[in-house]
């Protein structure tokens, strides 16, 4: 999933968790999904930072 779609999905997950209308099981499931998406976003940001650093050195 691309970065922007991941961020959008993270926003949706946060909204669901904040509304207190999800069951415990669903909350745990979407929390895990959010944690995985967050890890993916962090990795993409690190890769982008590396590319910028390399480009600045050239």
For 4-47, how does the pLDDT look when each residue is reduced to its tens digit (9 = 90+)? 999 999 999 999 999 988 999 999 999 999 999 999 999 999 99
Distance CA 30, CA 50 (A): 30
Please state at what angle helix 3-18 crosses helix 24-57, rounded to 10 degrees.
150
pLDDT of residue 1: 82
pLDDT of residue 46: 96
**Strand residues in the chain grouped as ranges (E):** none
Distance CA 54, CA 38 (A): 24
Distance CA 41, CA 6 (A): 7
Please, which pLDDT band fits residue 57 given cuts at 50, 70 and 90? confident
pTM of the model: 0.81
**Tokens, residue 18:** 């904040």
Domain boundaries, the chain: 3-57
């Amino acid at each position: 999933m691309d970065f922007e779609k991941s961020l959008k999905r993270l926003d949706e997950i946060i909204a669901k968790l904040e509304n207190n209308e999800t069951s415990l099981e669903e909350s745990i499931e979407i929390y895990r999904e959010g944690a995985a998406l967050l890890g993916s976003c962090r990795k993409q940001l690190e890769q982008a930072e590396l590319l910028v650093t390399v480009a600045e050195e050239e």
